[in-house]
Structure 1
Amino acid sequence: MTESLKKHIREYIDISDEKLEKYCNAFTVQKVKKKEFLLREGSICNYEGFVINGCFKVFHTDRNADEQILYFGIENWWISDIDSFINNIPSKLNIQALEDSEILIISKVDKEKLYSEIPEIERLMRLKFQMSIIALQRRIIDNLSKSSEERYLEFLKKYPQTAHRITNIQMAAYLGVTPESLSRVRRKIVKS
């Protein structure tokens, strides 16, 4: 079950087999059924997860009960509410499976312990955190400066393995447009 995690880690850092095994043994496998929540708003997020297979949406529900999707987590993605995880505060996010999924979970306590025992893991997570901040920064800039059509086409280009797994409504919630606007964008692209 941890082979995909091991492969993922080795893409970013050099680590001995012994240390890698110790780190991966701290994870537990959790099966999550389609539509099941891994995290609900208001709960404390006390884990980080690595998606083995399946698809998740990480989202916030606004005061109008509309979903604002931050990202989709598919195979080899990390999912969590980092604010709740680090600061031990109630989550403002929900994490829900869009497909039957399997995820490797590590608790905050285990992760912190392993940081001190395996410095390479702390480096890995620093690299992953930096990559996440860069992606978030780019997404904010894109949302402020690009049209919905440009954002849609960029999503299809960057995440082709995700696009076919989500609904039009979910795509629209990620792009920050209404489903009707997304339909217009798609029709315009088809006509071009």
Structure 2
Amino acid sequence: MYDILFQHLEEKIKLTPEEKELIKTFFTPAKLKKRHILLLEGQVCKYMTFVSKGLLKAYNIDDKGNEHISQFTPEGWWTSDMNSFFSGEISFYSIDAMENSEVLLITNEDFESLTVQVPVMDRYFRLLFQNSLIKKERRLISSYTDSAEKRYKYILENNPDLIKRVPQNLLASYLGFSAETFSRLKKNITLGNK
């Protein structure tokens, strides 16, 4: 479970064998069955979660019962309600497993201790949070300025694995358009590539 974490960490920082052993002590490994709810809207987010295997989704449900997906989290990615995790306020969305998954969980208290005891992890998380903020800003701007086709093509080019693993209606929700639009775009782009 930790191999993928260390592979991911070492893309940004260098770790000694001793630091790796210490890092392991701050995480709790967990196996989640498909549809297991890791965080429920209205609860306080207790963990920042690294996905070693599987796929999670973060979403909220509106007053009409429609699911709005804000993030898919495949292997090698992190998920959490960062506001809730760091502030202790209630979460505005839920996180659950779309597939049987293996994750590494870290509490806020352990997160703080980890960054003090392994200082290079503070740099890692700063880089992670910067990149996450940039991606969220780009996604927000894209949702206002890019056509549905351009948003679909972006996923197709940058996250083709999601197209295979995630049902069309959920991808459509994530991209901010209807399942019908998604189906039409998929058909038109597939026909255009023949």
The one-letter amino acid paired with 1:10 is E
Indicate the residue corresponding to 1:135 in structure 2. 135
Gaps of 5+ in 2: none
- Whole-Å separation in 1 of the counterparts to 2:79 and 2:139: 17
Does the 8 A contact of 1:58 with 1:69 survive in 2? yes
* 8 A contact 1:6–1:24 mirrored in 2: no
2: CA distance, partners of 1:163 / 1:179:
13
Determine the C-alpha separation between the residues in 1 that align with 2:120 and 2:15: 7
Q: Distance in 1 between matches of 2:161 and 2:191?
A: 24
Which amino acid is the alignment partner of residue 134 of structure 1?
A: I
Matches within 5 A, 1:101-180: 101-180=101-180
The 2-side partners of 1:190 and 1:160 are apart by: 13
Unaligned runs of 5+ in 1: none
- Paired position in structure 2 for 1:99: 99
Q: What are the residue-to-residue correspondences of 1:6-155 with 2, within 5 Å? A: 6-155=6-155
Cα RMSD over matched residues? 1.1
Aligned to 1:186: 186
CA distance, structure 2, for counterparts of residue 190 and residue 75 of structure 1: 27
The one-letter code sitting in structure 2 at the alignment partner of 1:8 is: H
Percent identity of the aligned residues? 36
**The residue matched to 1:112 in structure 2 has which SS?**
helix
Deviates more, 1:98-107 or 1:112-121: 112-121
Shift of 1:179: 0.8
Q: 2:64 and 2:53 mapped to 1: Cα distance?
A: 32
- Count of residues in Structure 1 that have an aligned counterpart in Structure 2: 192
Does the residue aligned with 1:164 lie in a helix, a strand or coil?
helix
- CA distance in 1 between counterparts of 2:128 and 2:183 reads 34
SS at match of 2:165: coil
1: distance between equivalents of 2:3 and 2:176?
Answer: 36
d(CA) in 1 for partners of 2:150 and 2:39?
Answer: 31
CA distance in 1: counterparts of 2:15 and 2:183, whole angstroms: 47
Q: Using the TM superposition, give the Cα deviation of residue 190 of structure 1 relative to its aligned residue in structure 2, in angstroms.
A: 3.3
Bigger mean CA deviation after superposition, 62-71 or 39-48: 62-71
Please state how far the C-alpha of 1:78 moved relative to its aligned partner.
Answer: 0.5
Equivalents in 2 of 1:77, 1:4: separation in Å?
10
Mean alpha-carbon deviation: is it higher for 68-77 or for 180-189? 180-189
For 1:75 and 1:134, the matched residues in 2 are separated by 20
Q: Is the 8 A contact 1:26 1:110 kept in 2?
A: yes
Bigger Cα displacement from structure 2, 94-103 vs 22-31: 22-31
AA matched with 1:102: E
Structure-1-length-normalised TM-score: 0.96
| Cα distance between partner residues in 2 of 1:26 and 1:67 | 33
Partners of 2:102 and 2:190 in 1: CA distance: 36
